Amino acid sequence: MCPLKETQRVIDIIEEIKGDTYQLPSIQRLFVWKQDQVLKLFDSIKNGFPVGAIIVWTPPENNIRYKNFVKDYETGLIVISKDPHPGSKQPYMVLDGQQRLQSLYIGFRGSFDKNQLFLKIDEYTDDTNPEMHYRFIFLDPIQAKADPSYVHLNELIELEIEDIDEFVKDRLSLIPDEAQTRAVKIVSRFISTFKVNSPIHLQEMGS
């Protein structure tokens, strides 16, 4: 296994979770966050706020019963532990940070109670939600299609910086120029935070 990078991009963490680089020891508690907690995590990261280090451990041998991160989570889901596969690659066991990593994985690659995570790209939040700065929201995918300003996070993170202007103009061609300019800023900040910068801090126990 490659040495652990102490700071990582969110997009890389998501792909490594998908590839089972990170697993959960069977003794870990269940995922317990609510949808509003997931939204606040994404908003905090996008605002550049620290979200705490992820603590991982590499077992001396690949012999620990484990659980995978869940892609499509439903409230009350109980994840069954699996027996280790000694011949497979050695994973990092997440000791602290499950709720945060699981939330990121759901937000980009999965669903929460059948709803997916979207960002409304043409508006900031208002005074009715003072704890949030950006409009992250869980929506039914079919419902989200009715308003082109709601963009799934996985679609956003696939964008390159040089394509943002064209993406916004195509997506929001019917809204005023002022709102399009605002959307470019919101999308640019998203790409910088989740694809370019490395806001996730990891610490290996014993290192």
Does the structure show a pLDDT above 60 at 1?
A: no
Q: How many angstroms separate the Cα of 15 from the Cα of each of 53, 64, 156, 165?
A: 19, 22, 15, 26
As given in the structure block, the two tokens for residue 94 are 């997440």
Return the pLDDT at 4. 85
How far, in Å, CA of 52 to CA of 99, rounded? 12
Of the two residues 105 and 27, the one the predictor is more confident about is 105
In the numeric block, the tokens 């998908």 are attached to: 18
Cβ atoms 192, 139 nearer than 8 A: no
Return the pLDDT at 201. 95
